[in-house]
Amino acid sequence: MFATISRRGVLTGTAALLASTALPRLALAQGGGRLIVAADSEPRQLNPAIVASNGVFFISSKVIEPLAEASYDAGGLKPLLATGWEGSEDGLSITFALREGVSWHDGTPFTSADVAFSAMEVWKPLQNIGRSLFANLETVETPDPLTAIFRFSKPTPLQLIANALPVVSSVLPKHVYEGSDIAENPANRALIGTGPFKWGDYRPGEYYLLTRNDSYWGEGLPHLDDIVFRVLPDRAAAASSLEAGEVHLAAFSSVPLADLDRIAKVPGLSVVTRGYEALTYQLTVEINHRTGILSDLKVRQAIAHAIDKDFVLDTIFLGYAEKATGPVPANDPTFYTPDVTTYPFDIAAAKDLLDEAGYREGPGGTRFSLRLLPAPYFAETRQFGDYLRQALAAIGIDAQIVPHDAAGHIKAVYTDHAFDLAIAPTVFRADPAISTTILVRSGQPDGVPFSNQGGYANPDLDALIDEALVTLDPGKRVALYKDFQRMVTADLPLINVADWSFTSVVADSVTGVATNPRWVVSNWAETGLSE
């Protein structure tokens, strides 16, 4: 008796559920459409002018625009709020021509005063990247509402500033922020920008809603009615939401690599690897040069020879990565050079190097022990930690994995320096001077994450980095950074293992995908939904 009642109950319940499921699905398929995107985290604050990070850009870049966006076209940049930029002969000023007819979401016109305010009050004093990039920025002059002239105290290469524009130049409305505590302004949570989408709503733990900006400056743009970022912290949940058609897009490899093959076979879904070229991550072994053994170049070379990059690409990245030759990823169109010292997988050579360095095999075949700290924030860095432990064991180095959670790892490596080897996901952002040279330049104060905290100091390399920073001629600059790659690979302050690209899983109904090398963190004005 019990069984029949419950079965009937379940059946009627199911019918009601089916009826109510049909409605939202139909709504999804209509019109300009609502794009639903999986978001795996909720940034603490969303102001991209203060926090220039991919997690923030992912959401905020649709609302607040930079002066220029990265592009696949020659020159690598597409004008957004700036229509042109020109550097002076002496490298002491850069003049930006600004777009006409742009207004903020609250209706106020966009002018050069907004650019000057953002640069002097936000990018230079507050922004994680701008604080060093704009350290020499002295003033921004605004001769007219559509011209902003940046004046620097030292020669500053236009190439560097231009390459950095998509990341560092998010413009804030002066009239909203002026005279307030910028870091705590309420507009950091309900963004006001010039972008194709306006801030709609935020339900913590659930979703962000962005709605179409009907008075966007781009002709006929944007295509979408609105964008919803659904907060889905569990990676398996993101994958099943895609399969169930509840989400159109999951970016930043939020679908685990192991699931990609299966997902790619689901009708209506595709795996896309383009759209991340300007934010390529590298799998990097950070080395603590304070550890006596590791200050010996032969030991570092031995470690480099012990890593089988083919195995790493096939087993850990399942093919979604390339071998790294040095600190600039191969997909960078400007600075990369393959002409560097390479370290082929060769266990015998590695053992010989260690013998030469005087670290002979002790009892049990072990030469010495090291602490190995894989960054916990990516599955790939953790897995590579397990691999590296085995690879080093094969040449007689006993690497002990020291596990930490994210905050603990940051403190252990970048503040306490309690590591010998660490595994980091370093980021190359279109120009080596933005976030790459800091990984090897000496003189970084303690406690700066993603910088040289390994105590490496090479005066020649420092001199080269400093020279490139004030070299105005683009050709010479590129040549210097090619030397930089040669020097880094020869002396191995760190070991670059793989250039690793993120993947997106996208529903086939989404149009305008991966249209630029920062697509995921760009404004999505040209993205749409087809029937």
Taking CB under 8 A as the rule, does residue 131 contact another protein?
Answer: yes
402 contact partners, CB below 8 Å, separation of at least 6: 371, 372, 373, 412, 418, 419
Count Cα atoms within 13 angstroms, Cβ side, for 275. Answer: 25
Report angle CA 386, 290, 417 to the nearest 5 degrees: 60
Taking CB under 8 A as the rule, does residue 18 contact another protein?
Answer: yes
**Under rule CB under 8 A, which residues in 205-234 are in contact with another protein?**
205-207, 209, 228, 230-234
Q: 75 φ, ψ to 5°?
A: 95, -30
Task: Please give the Cα distance from 289 to 368 (Å, whole number).
Answer: 16
| Span near another protein by CB under 8 A; candidates 48-56, 169-177, 311-319, 328-336 | 48-56
Task: Please give the Cα distance from 36 to 34 (Å, whole number).
Answer: 6
Among 29, 264, 448, 463, binds another protein (CB under 8 A): 448
Taking CB under 8 A as the rule, does residue 200 contact another protein?
Answer: yes
Report the first-to-last Cα separation within the chain, whole angstroms: 48
- In whole angstroms, how large is the CA radius of gyration of the chain? 25
Please give the structure tokens belonging to residue 497.
């293992």
Minimum CB distance to another protein smaller for 126 or for 349: 126
**Total residues at the site for another protein (CB under 8 A)?**
67
Residue ranges of alpha helices (H) inside 69-169 are 112-117, 124-126, 130-133, 158-168
Q: Of the candidates 227, 225, 259, which has an alpha carbon nearest to the alpha carbon of residue 241?
A: 259
Minimum CB distance to another protein smaller for 84 or for 125: 125
**Under rule CB under 8 A, which residues in 280-339 are in contact with another protein?**
none
Please give the structure tokens belonging to residue 409.
């790892």
Peptide bond into 333 cis (omega under 30): no
Minimum CB distance to another protein smaller for 74 or for 244: 244
Minimum CB distance to another protein smaller for 220 or for 445: 445
| Span near another protein by CB under 8 A; candidates 38-46, 345-353, 467-475, 507-515 | 38-46
To another protein, the closest distance from the beta carbon of 51 in angstroms equals 5
**Under rule CB under 8 A, which residues in 54-113 are in contact with another protein?**
54-56
Taking CB under 8 A as the rule, does residue 445 contact another protein?
Answer: yes
To another protein, the closest distance from the beta carbon of 425 in angstroms equals 10
To another protein, the closest distance from the beta carbon of 96 in angstroms equals 25
Q: Of the candidates 349, 318, 334, 280, which has an alpha carbon nearest to the alpha carbon of residue 496?
A: 280
Task: Please give the Cα distance from 84 to 79 (Å, whole number).
Answer: 7
Minimum CB distance to another protein smaller for 49 or for 94: 49
Minimum CB distance to another protein smaller for 232 or for 283: 232
Q: Tell the residue number behind the tokens 């293992």, with chain if given.
A: 497
Please list the residues that pair with 285 across neighbouring strands.
423, 495
Taking CB under 8 A as the rule, does residue 51 contact another protein?
Answer: yes
| Interface mask toward another protein for 371-400; x: CB under 8 A | ------x-----------------------
Minimum CB distance to another protein smaller for 87 or for 329: 329
Taking CB under 8 A as the rule, does residue 43 contact another protein?
Answer: yes
| Span near another protein by CB under 8 A; candidates 13-21, 70-78, 328-336, 465-473 | 13-21
361 CA to centre of own chain? 41
Give kind and range of the element (H or E) at residue 207: strand 207-212
**Under rule CB under 8 A, which residues in 164-193 are in contact with another protein?**
189
254 CA to centre of own chain? 14
To another protein, the closest distance from the beta carbon of 109 in angstroms equals 30
**Site residues (CB under 8 A) for another protein?**
2, 14, 16-18, 20-21, 24, 36, 41, 43-45, 51-56, 128-129, 131-132, 189, 200-201, 203-207, 209, 228, 230-234, 236-237, 240-241, 243-246, 377, 404-412, 415-416, 427, 435, 445-451
